[in-house]
A = this chain, B = another copy of it.
């Protein structure tokens, strides 16, 4: 089972309270793939400029990622520079240059068009639609977006929702999209426009999954040091979609497990700059953290009076 991701393949300069890095590999497609390729082969669609250190993506290829959908264009790669506040609760964008991404027109290699699990990273909804048009018969389409597109491309975004199985956004985005502060009601608003499922990411507070008539909640992993929050959401998506595809199922029990895989991958992502943590990550470490999530959330209760 192969999954397809479309998103940014970027260079990031990041400053956190713990240090700074310059022009390291990043972008939604890279974080997604770093996590998902640990679980399932990944096909990547994107664009880089002539300045991109493509060999830094070799570790993804070695894990079975197919980068033949990453176009190499003349010009500069997508570049983002940002600085996080001391409590990591906010970040300032210091510089943002779209470079070759400004003219990106995703064109899928023929062999990518039978992909069954599709993750549409946070790019222009018009491009997300163009990608979908090139997929023959997806089993599940999972989609991210952000405040910019909610404000500027609402019409295309709502059209897209009609073709999406799972919308995956953060709590502020869910509220903004639905125009509704209560998350339960916001999720229902979104579900009425297409997606059967809504995943709401809440950073340190974990994530929620809204199904048709049930919901699931997973806490944030209690890290003592959050080294660099960049990419956590995309790594979450990589773990989530990676697990779904690896078991080829959208059954509730599998989606719940997928939420935990997402949380695990997101928690690893923030332990280092860039995708560094994923270089050394192995299955044993992943399973260990899954079990930590289980211990952290499991309680037993019999259907009996508690006393009094």
User: A residues within 8 Å of B by Cβ?
Assistant: 1, 38-41, 64, 86-89, 181-185, 202, 204-206, 208, 214-220, 222-226, 242-243, 246-247, 253, 256-257, 259-261, 283, 287, 290-291, 294-301, 303, 305-308
Contact = CB atoms under 8 A, between A and B. Distances in A.
A2 B193 CA distance: 52
Contacts of A87: 181
A183 B217 contact: no
In the assembly, how many copies of this chain are there? 2
Contact of A183 (B218, B222, B305): B222
Contacts of A220: 217
A217 B298 contact: no
A308 B205 contact: no
A291 B121 CA distance: 36
Contacts of A307: 1, 39-40, 243, 246-247
Contacts of A308: 38-41, 64, 242, 246
B259 A182 contact: no
B306 A39 contact: yes
A224 B185 contact: yes
A278 to B, nearest CB: 14
B301 A260 contact: yes
A294 B299 contact: yes
A243 B307 CA distance: 8
Contacts of A301: 257, 260, 290-291, 294
Contacts of A40: 307-308
A216 B292 CA distance: 10
Given A243-B306, A256-B299, A294-B299, 13 more contacts: A39-B308, A41-B308, A184-B222, A217-B297, A218-B299, A246-B306, A247-B307, A257-B300, A257-B306, A260-B299, A260-B301, A261-B306, A283-B305
Contact of A291 (B259, B287, B303): B303
A172 B306 CA distance: 32
Contact of A215 (B206, B222, B247): B222
A203 to B, nearest CB: 10
A183 B224 CA distance: 8
Contacts of A89: 181
Contacts of A225: 182
